[in-house]
Amino acid sequence: MKTKLNLWQTRDLTLYGKSLLAKTLGASQLIYTASMISVPDTAINTVQSHLFSFLWKNKKDKIKRNVAFQPLSEGGLNFVNFRVMVKSLRLAWIGRLLSNSNDNWKAIPNFYFEKYGGLLFLLKCNYNTANLDKNLPLFYRELLDYFQELNNNSKDNNSNLILWNNKKITVEKNSVFWKRWFERGIYFVSDLLNSNGRFLSLDEFQEKYDLKVNLLHYFQLLAAIPLVVKRKAFDSPTPDLFSTSLEYHQLEDRTLVLPKLRCKNYYKLFIETLAVEPTAFKSWKRCFLELTDWNKCFVEIHKSSKDNKLRQFSFKVLHRIIPSKKELKKYNLNNDDTCFLCPNLDSIEHTFIHCNESANLFTHTMRWFNDFHNTKLQLSNRQILSNSFEGSSFFTIIESP
């Protein structure tokens, strides 16, 4: 991967072109292997480091990495996040395991997951892999960890009320799952409570579920249930766990059907959780208080020009990564920070907005454009910077007779 990327390092590519090559010639070489075996953190860090070295020509990053991972419309480069890709490739196995086919290869994973009520039930639980069977293979343990990481952003707390595989209900530091009880329809903590919110006595429990249990085991389980969980189970309505057996509610306004989710779906969900505001926005907001929708500026970049060089230039301006003499002096690369064209102090705002020479250039350019097209077009500093030319209050076009 590194060799293939180095062959393109000498080419004068834009950031968008490098982002595309990082996927097609970089991470694509590792996708099949990463989907089949466990990938160590050292390998993930090494790959991601090589990819960013290719993007920035072996120099320091110019923008936050979490920003670079975001879509173009969010101010990012849609750059590949190899760690998230590994997680997404692993979670893509959930759809294969939950499919209706009876393939022979499913025998091994089903053998392990049936110890916890099956994969579908386990994914609904508030589990912690550290409390599960130590013999669970690393591949499946990581699958559960990655799903739990995604599940941490869910607003659905019904998993805390499930009795089995609950990380808050442990016996000898291990989660509990008793198959006989599970088959009798005992799923929630509330199934062990009476109408007064107290635990059922042993006789009441055996009579209700027609199940003979060991006295010590029963009271051992009751002692493992925290008082907070018990109160919440009594105060909350019992959720209908199997009403939509193949659906998992990730967010209030979104329903995820697990068998239909693919790698790209999981990748998008993870990237959404990493979204951060670009640092440059804070500086630009001080200059243009009226401009609030900065993400729209990045969308306009791709509408205003088809040339990737011009798009990259606008991208760098919005992210404030074009060095002016102010930055050159700050990093001891120049002795002064005065503008090249006037005696005023230089900065990115001065270069493109406040400098008299720049203002004259824009004025002459707009005058030529209006004369050539018989229009009356006027652009504000905000529009020039943000590539946003919409709004009749900013310009008027007069059609030719």
In a domain, 228, yes or no: yes
Report the alpha-carbon distance of residue 148 to residue 128 in Å, rounded: 8
For 189-237, the pLDDT digits (tens) are 999 999 888 999 999 999 999 999 989 989 999 999 999 999 988 888 7
pLDDT value for 8: 93
pTM for the model stands at 0.87
DSSP H or E stretch at residue 78 = none
Contact between 322 and 316 under an 8 Å Cβ cutoff? The reply is yes
pLDDT value for 246: 56
The two structure tokens encoding residue 57: 């020509």
In a domain, 7, yes or no: no
In a domain, 183, yes or no: yes
| Cα→Cα distances 252→64, 122, 155, Å | 29, 21, 7
From 101, 91, 82, select the one nearest 150 (Cα to Cα): 91
Report the alpha-carbon distance of residue 211 to residue 193 in Å, rounded: 16
Classify the C-alpha dihedral 244-248-251-255 as positive or negative: negative
SS3 letters for 127-179?
Answer: CCHHHCCCCCCHHHHHHHHHHHHHHCCCCCCHHHHECCCCCCCEECCEECCCH
Classify the C-alpha dihedral 37-42-46-49 as positive or negative: positive
From 171, 169, 172, select the one nearest 192 (Cα to Cα): 169
In a domain, 134, yes or no: yes
The two structure tokens encoding residue 165: 């595989």
- Low-confidence residues in the chain, pLDDT < 70: 153-157, 239-253, 290, 388-401
From 45, 27, 46, select the one nearest 35 (Cα to Cα): 27
In a domain, 290, yes or no: no
- Find the Cα–Cα–Cα–Cα dihedral 312, 314, 315, 316, rounded to 10°: 90
pLDDT value for 393: 38
pLDDT value for 399: 42
Q: Which residues contact 185 (CB under 8 A, 6 or more apart)?
A: 191, 209
Report the alpha-carbon distance of residue 254 to residue 230 in Å, rounded: 29
pLDDT value for 45: 96
In a domain, 389, yes or no: no
DSSP H or E stretch at residue 170 = strand 170-171
- Does residue 94 sit in helix, strand or coil? helix
In a domain, 46, yes or no: no
Total number of domains in the chain: 1
Domain extent at residue 219: 89-265
In a domain, 231, yes or no: yes
